[in-house]
Structures are given as structure tokens and as C-alpha cells.
Amino acid sequence: MSYVEKNLTPGEEILLQPRYHWVRFVPGASVAVLGVALAAASGLFVPAAEGIESGLRSPLLIVAGVLFLAGFLGMAWRALADSFDEFAITSYRVIRKSGFVTRSVRQIPLEKVQDVNVRSTLGGRWLSYGDVELQTAGSDSTVVFPRILHPEKFRNVLFTHTRPQAAGRDGLGDSSATAPPSRAPVEERLKEAERLYKTGVLSEAEYQEKRQALIKEL
């Protein structure tokens, strides 16, 4: 079971789990292909005869082998490191877990997402990959999801589910003037705020502010 699945709160659903694009393996693959090409060239253009020319084949084959091994190990390391990273958009938050030796986890409540930018090169548009940058409210205001597959889908899912949050329907009582008049009892909203605080969606300061506001409604 993945990190995201193990840390879902009651009632929380996964909307999208973006993945890295295979283009991240291109540097390692390029080195490995160069090694194969060098080995093939040494077999085709360097004759296996006695003399000065025959002494070139062995060094070329050694260099080709080193290049191939380096490229293969580079791809293996990339696959291993990327396997520890997880991205997700849920019905409550955006999750970014990264790190191989040390773990870094960012959890951004949907109502704190202020803007979403997609950056793609010409090749990225052709191959459907790019960087997604989230602008959020807070001290660390930019969160980057690099070279993910179908970045536009990431943006569209996020926009679709942050629009109700922007309208004030966060389940904690911050309803706008156009929101439906019916609201959950204050006790239930207090429990919801406590649940969001315990799961890390709300900071302690945000939880205390929300709690005081709800207590005043009692």
C-alpha cells in the first residue's frame, strides 16, 4: 500500500495520482546507447588484424563497456529514487512526498491553492509532460511537481475541485453569501476542524483560529 493510501482520512478520496514521465530516463539511456554505438563502431571500422590498428579495438571496447554500464546504472538509480516519490490530489488536499534517504512531505489544503502554472518545452508538449507549479498561501509559497505525465490533467482536476473551496464551502463554516444556507452543526464542524488538524491539513494556528470562531457560534 502506498504512502498516500495509508494516510487517507475518513471520507477522503484520491482524485488523481500523477506520475513522472519516462523522459527522466533519457540522460542515462543516452549514455548507454552511446556505449553500444561505440562498441558497434569498433567492430565495424577497426579491423581485427595484427598491427597498430588492432591495438585500438580493446580500448574502444573498454570505453564502450564503461559507458554502457554507467548509463544502465544511471537509469537504475533514477528508477529507484523516483519509486520513493508520490504525488496525489485528494478531495481535501494536494500531497507531495519525495526523498530517498530523507523523506519530505508537503500537504496543501485545497483552499490554500491560489494558482497553478504549467511549464512545458516544445518537446514536452509533444510528449505530454511538463512541470506543474502551485502557488499557495504560506511562507513556502511555491510547490513544484517536475516532469510529470499529462500536466494539463493535473491542472484541470485541481481547478475543478478548488473552485468550490474558493467559494467558501470548506465544511468548517466559512460559507460565502452564495453558499447554501444549510450548514452542519457547530459541534460537527469542531470535530472536522480537529480531524484536519490531527492529519496535518490545518496548522496549529489555523486550527486554534477556526476553533475560536466556531466556539463563538455556540
CA distance 126 to 106: 30
Read off the pLDDT of each residue in 175-204 and give the average, rounded to a whole number. Answer: 64
Q: Would you state the pLDDT for residue 198?
A: 76
Q: Which amino acid would we find at residue 142?
A: T
Domain boundaries along the sequence of the chain: 24-82
H-helix or E-strand containing 87?
A: strand 86-90
Angle at 198 between CA 201 and CA 179, to 5 degrees: 50
pTM of the model: 0.65
Read off the pLDDT of each residue in 167-189 and give the average, rounded to a whole number. Answer: 51
Is residue 50's pLDDT more than 70?
no
CB-based contact 56:129 (threshold 8 Å): no
Higher pLDDT, 2 or 172: 2
Q: Would you state the pLDDT for residue 160?
A: 84
Mean pLDDT of the chain: 81
Read off the pLDDT of each residue in 157-169 and give the average, rounded to a whole number. Answer: 67
